[in-house]
């Protein structure tokens, strides 16, 4: 029997809704609507327009309803860390702050003055990034932020959107874990961390795990969309957790690379890995589905190339994806690399000039042509992947035999082959739509169509073609 699922997949620059059908013939996906996610600057601060995101979700639901499709359920995944403050009357107190807002610069150091890093990491296993939720909350506390002081509840972005659809407030495990407020051992909110910013568990919605039902569409939403009381499911609300759930692996002996603007590289483990070494290396332990932990490292990814393209566009040179690959291939032997995670590459005005200066600092050949710059970026990412894999091998409770690349970056054949050569292991690429696929499959598990994570992955492997790159394969011109 065919079942239809509606997945909302929101990224930091754009969002989309997906209609998926699962039947005896397999899994099929089609895009319903796509829309930009604009970062709003008001004064010196940056916000997300959550109402516009909600409007676009409703538009997608209306389109599906207009086609007479009967939905089994709805699920929402987004980026992590950011949240909405909700008043006692259930109203949002203002637009949610965006993680790219510089207002949390230096916030971790201020927080560690009251609670040492060793204690924070020991209780959460989360790497230190200045925009982690706990540092946003502490900054609001220190500044006596009016919305934070008046907040009755804190809702992470996917939970806030689910609340708008259902009227039910929840706190989903995977997205909450990104905020450095969840204890991965207990898989619950950590009271001592919350207390440090003046909060308690009562300031959050009902704690749920991927696959639990949040509630049904509220009557007003049913009227607006033409749908009935469709259930909204708490999928893995953090987009990377949904993406990793869609890795088409046959066993646990793999590493994954969720490749896009960010590169998130790690392993899936039954337990968190928290010790002084992982703290020093700034590795993170985020919540996955079915009790798994995503032990991973955040790496700056194709952000470097995206920002270079902005520079080239301003100079009158625009490149298609195919042209970028051609230029990289021409300069494939260019030898220079830089550290993608150098703080100077976080958000420079001119990415090209900063990469050139970093190469010069290290007495390496300075990329002069655009092709040399692209090659430098690609080789730099591959070098970082090799470094991280070596670290993962130290901590993995199993032998890592493959690297699964998912997300948009999985379509980059040049980087994939170079990665296979550098790591000395097969690199399996696909699906590119991993986040939406993982979202849908968690809904399908809740509907009783699949029994567990490994059956989900078996279905995904059959539904989507993957491409495998083997070490030493000769690669022809793209």
Say what the pLDDT of residue 276 is: 97
Say what the pLDDT of residue 383 is: 97
pLDDT tens-digit map of 35-59? 999 889 999 999 999 999 999 999 9
Cβ-Cβ contacts under 8 Å for 50 (sequence gap 6 or more): 84, 92, 95, 96, 157, 160, 161
- d(Cα 352, Cα 368) in Å, to the nearest integer? 10
Phi, psi of 228 (to 5 degrees): -90, -160
Omega within 30 of 0 (cis) for the link into 431: yes
Pick the CATH number of 3-237 from 3.40.50.300, 3.40.50.2300, 3.90.1150.10, 3.30.420.40: 3.30.420.40
pLDDT tens-digit map of 226-279? 999 999 999 999 999 999 999 999 999 999 999 988 899 999 999 999 999 999
Report the 10 Å Cβ neighbour count for 168: 18
Say what the pLDDT of residue 262 is: 84
DSSP assignment letter at 77: E
- d(Cα 397, Cα 462) in Å, to the nearest integer? 28
- d(Cα 468, Cα 446) in Å, to the nearest integer? 31
Question: Picking from 205-214, 323-332, 448-457, 467-476, which range would have the lowest pLDDT averaged per residue?
Answer: 467-476
Q: What is the mean pLDDT of residues 331-360?
A: 94
- d(Cα 361, Cα 353) in Å, to the nearest integer? 12
Picking from 360, 405, 355, the residue whose alpha carbon sits closest to that of residue 385 is: 405
- d(Cα 426, Cα 471) in Å, to the nearest integer? 6
Which strands, in side-by-side order, build the sheet including 254-259? 284-287, 293-300, 262-269, 254-259, 402-406, 427-429, 467-469
Pairing of the two strands 427-429 and 402-406? parallel
Strand partners, 15: 10, 35
Q: What is the mean pLDDT of residues 206-232?
A: 98
Tokens 């260019």 label which residue?
A: 334
- d(Cα 95, Cα 147) in Å, to the nearest integer? 10
**347 versus 29: which is more confidently predicted?**
29
pLDDT tens-digit map of 78-130? 999 999 999 999 999 999 999 888 899 999 999 999 999 999 999 999 999 99
Domain ranges of the chain: 3-237, 238-478
Question: What is the residue-averaged pLDDT of the chain?
Answer: 96
**Under a CB-based contact definition with an 8 Å cutoff, are residues 150 and 118 in contact?**
no
The CATH fold assigned to 238-478 is Nucleotidyltransferase; domain 5 (3.30.420)
- d(Cα 82, Cα 14) in Å, to the nearest integer? 16
Q: What is the mean pLDDT of residues 404-408?
A: 95
Helix ranges (DSSP H) in 3-49: none
Told to judge if 239 belongs to the known catalytic residues of this protein, a careful annotator would answer yes
Report the 10 Å Cβ neighbour count for 251: 10
Residue 214 is encoded by which pair of tokens?
């949040």
Say what the pLDDT of residue 476 is: 57
Q: What is the mean pLDDT of residues 147-167?
A: 98
138, 239, 370, 421: the catalytic one is 239
**Under a CB-based contact definition with an 8 Å cutoff, are residues 296 and 284 in contact?**
yes
Say what the pLDDT of residue 343 is: 85
Check for a shared fold between 3-237 and 238-478: yes
pLDDT tens-digit map of 53-81? 999 999 999 999 999 999 999 999 999 99
What is the band of 464 on the pLDDT scale with cuts at 50, 70, 90? very high
């Amino acid at each position: 029997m065919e079942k239809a699922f509606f997945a909302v997949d929101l990224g930091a620059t754009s969002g989309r809704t997906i209609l998926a059908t699962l039947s005896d013939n397999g899994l099929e996906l089609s895009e319903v609507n796509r829309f930009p996610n604009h970062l709003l600057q008001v004064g010196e601060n940056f916000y997300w327009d959550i109402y516009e995101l909600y409007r676009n979700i409703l538009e997608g639901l209306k389109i599906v309803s207009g086609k007479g499709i009967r939905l089994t359920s709805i699920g929402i995944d987004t980026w992590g860390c950011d949240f909405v403050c909700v008043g006692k009357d259930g109203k949002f107190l203002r637009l949610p702050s965006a993680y790219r807002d510089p207002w949390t610069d230096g916030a971790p150091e201020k927080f560690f003055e009251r609670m040492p890093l060793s204690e924070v990491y020991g209780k959460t296993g989360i790497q230190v990034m200045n925009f982690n939720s706990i540092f946003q909350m502490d900054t609001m506390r220190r500044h006596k932020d009016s919305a934070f002081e008046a907040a009755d509840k804190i809702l992470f972005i996917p939970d806030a959107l689910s609340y708008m659809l259902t009227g039910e407030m929840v706190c989903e495990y995977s997205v909450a874990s990104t905020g450095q407020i969840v204890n991965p051992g207990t898989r619950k909110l950590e009271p001592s961390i919350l207390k440090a910013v003046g909060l308690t568990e009562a300031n959050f919605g009902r704690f749920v795990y991927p696959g639990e039902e949040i509630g049904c569409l509220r009557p007003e939403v049913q009227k607006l969309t033409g749908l009935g009381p469709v259930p909204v499911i708490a999928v893995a609300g953090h987009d990377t957790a949904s993406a990793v759930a869609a890795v088409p692996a046959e066993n646990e002996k793999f590493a994954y690379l969720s490749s896009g603007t960010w590169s998130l590289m790690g392993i899936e483990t039954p337990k968190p890995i928290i010790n002084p070494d992982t703290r020093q290396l700034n590795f993170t332990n985020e919540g996955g589905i079915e009790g798994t932990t995503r032990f991973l490292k955040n790496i700056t990814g194709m952000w470097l190339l995206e920002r270079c393209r902005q520079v080239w566009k301003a100079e009158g040179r625009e490149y298609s994806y195919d042209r970028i690959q051609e230029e990289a291939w021409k300069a494939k032997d260019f030898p220079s690399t830089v550290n993608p995670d150098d703080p100077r590459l976080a958000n420079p005005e001119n990415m090209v000039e900063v990469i050139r200066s970093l190469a010069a600092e290290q007495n390496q050949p300075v990329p002069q042509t655009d092709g040399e710059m692209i090659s430098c970026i690609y080789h730099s990412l591959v070098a970082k992947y090799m470094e991280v894999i070596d670290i993962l091998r130290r901590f993995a409770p199993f032998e890592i035999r493959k690297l699964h690349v998912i997300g948009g970056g999985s379509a980059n054949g040049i980087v994939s082959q170079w990665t296979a050569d550098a790591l000395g292991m097969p690199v399996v690429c696909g699906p590119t739509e991993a986040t939406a696929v993982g979202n849908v499959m968690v809904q399908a598990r809740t509907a009783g169509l699949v029994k567990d994570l490994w059956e989900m992955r078996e279905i995904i492997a059959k539904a989507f073609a993957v491409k495998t790159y083997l070490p030493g394969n000769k690669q022809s011109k793209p």
